[in-house]
Amino acid sequence: MSLVITPAVVLQTYRYSETSKVVRLATRELGIQSAIAKGVLRPKSRFGAALEFLSEGEAQLYYRDSRELHTLAAFDATNLRRGLAGDVARFAGAAALSQIMFKMGPPAPLPAAYIVFTSGLDLLVTAPAGAVDAAAVRAVWALVTELGFGPSLQACVRDGAPVAEEGGRIAFSAPDGGVLCARCAATQSPTRLPPEDYRVLVALNDTGADLPELDGPHAAAHRRLAARFVRHHLDAVSLSALDFWERSSWTRLQPTSAVL
């Protein structure tokens, strides 16, 4: 057993006993881990209120290689990201991002993915009100890419040939994981992205580009495309947070004519 001190974000908590909780953590040094926080539900617990969903802090973990459940000795909160809780769109995006991290992240060191994940959460805190959807979609694509499942957007995902443009539209296949050339597109029934939607998709995948402005229907379409892509790359049965974010269940969008 060894003591590991690592930055970590709380992805999930549930009650374990009268006084203890189990927390699922995204950690920088150990990847996705579960740990028991003993005594956290006692009135004067040393954890205080730090172990909340999306809180970031320095976790002290007694780590056993052979055990799935480790012991959380301390969690010193460094960033509670309370700005996420007050806005349902930001919160839904953060919850979807956390679910992807939880389901796709390995129980192994992931410093780069940890940074991309927490940068995505920060982007969701700071994005202007009109850009929250674009920020969430960008964060999702960036995390998926860092975890090694990113979409191929420049060349055919199957054979590397130039992308197909039929009537100006780009063939995109979520099951295959990216754009398709004309030959490959002919054997599939891919999504046909209008040029503007394709450009937006590329911009959303480019963390150096300005966040594109998306109206309601286009934001919904890009959430749908990203969610569908993630689902195809996970065998997970239930992705409740991703579903909630994708459907934007808290707004009332008009039926959309967007194409994705």
Instruction: Enumerate binding residues for Zn ion (CB under 5 A).
Output: 156, 158-159, 161, 181, 184
Nearer to Zn ion, 31 or 178 (CB): 178
Measured distance CA(39)–CA(19) in Å, rounded:
5
Nearer to Zn ion, 9 or 170 (CB): 170
Are 235 and 165 contacting, i.e. CB atoms less than 8 angstroms apart? no
Helix-, strand-, coil-residue percentages of the chain, each rounded to 5: 35, 25, 40
Nearer to Zn ion, 89 or 156 (CB): 156
CA 82 to chain centre: 18
Are 16 and 36 contacting, i.e. CB atoms less than 8 angstroms apart? yes
Smallest separation (angstroms) from Zn ion to the CB of 229 = 18
Smallest separation (angstroms) from Zn ion to the CB of 226 = 22
The alpha carbon dihedral of 172, 174, 178, 182 has a sign of negative
Nearer to Zn ion, 142 or 181 (CB): 181
Are 99 and 239 contacting, i.e. CB atoms less than 8 angstroms apart? yes
Nearer to Zn ion, 120 or 190 (CB): 190
DSSP, residue by residue, 120-180: HHHHHHHS-GGGHHHHHHHHHHHHHHHTT-PPB-SB-TTT-PBPPEETTEEEEETTTTEE-
The alpha carbon dihedral of 82, 83, 87, 90 has a sign of negative
Smallest separation (angstroms) from Zn ion to the CB of 164 = 8
Nearer to Zn ion, 11 or 156 (CB): 156
Smallest separation (angstroms) from Zn ion to the CB of 162 = 9
Smallest separation (angstroms) from Zn ion to the CB of 181 = 3
Hey, how many other C-beta atoms are within 10 angstroms of the C-beta on 46? Answer: 13
Smallest separation (angstroms) from Zn ion to the CB of 157 = 7
Q: 238 φ, ψ to 5°?
A: -120, 125
